[in-house]
């Protein structure tokens, strides 16, 4: 099973709200990624977790806070977002950290009002 799941599919939040995005995989993968994709643009890497530890933060604003509670689960906590943060947020995983095949989830469409 090469499935990465993400919830919710859609999220609308105000700039003062706090919400979380969830990503789950049961393939035994030890690297998990968050990407942000704006309309008509390619995905851009935000964070990488390697063996449940944050290994890369691509200068993402602190209003985005990632968390990896266990090897199967990845969260992205959102607080005080701006309208320009509206995008498709994609989660991916690979067997181990490094240049290996990545499997993507369906994404969460986030709208900040």
Partner 1 sequence: KQEVTQIPAALSVPEGENLVLNCSFTDSAIYNLQWFRQDPGKGLTSLLLIQSSQREQTSGRLNASLDKSSGRSTLYIAASQPGDSATYLCAAPINYGGSQGNLIFGKGTKLSVKP
Q: Which residue's CB is nearer to partner 1, number 66 or number 105?
A: 105
Angstrom distance (rounded) from CA 34 to CA 5? 13
In the complex with partner 1, which residue's Cβ is closer, 85 or 107? Answer: 107
Residue closer to partner 1, measured from CB, 2 or 16:
2
CB 36 to partner 1: min, Å: 12
Determine how β-strand 73-79 pairs with β-strand 64-70: antiparallel
Contact residues: partner 1, CB under 8 A: 2, 6, 31, 33, 41-43, 45, 48, 50, 55-56, 58, 88, 90, 92, 94, 97-107, 109
Nearest partner of 93 among 69, 72, 70, judged by Cα = 72
Q: Is the distance from CB of 96 to CB of 102 less than 8 angstroms?
A: no
């Amino acid at each position: 099973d090469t499935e990465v799941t993400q919830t919710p599919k859609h999220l609308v939040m105000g700039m003062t709200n706090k919400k979380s995005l969830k990503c789950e995989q049961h393939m035994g993968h030890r690297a998990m990624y968050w990407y942000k994709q704006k309309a008509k643009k390619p995905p851009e890497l935000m964070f990488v977790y390697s063996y449940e530890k944050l290994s890369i933060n691509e200068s993402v604003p602190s209003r985005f806070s990632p968390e990896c509670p266990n090897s199967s689960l990845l969260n992205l906590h959102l607080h005080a977002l701006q309208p320009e943060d509206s995008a498709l947020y994609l989660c991916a995983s690979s067997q181990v950290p490094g240049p290996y095949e990545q499997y993507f989830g369906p994404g969460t469409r986030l709208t900040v009002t």
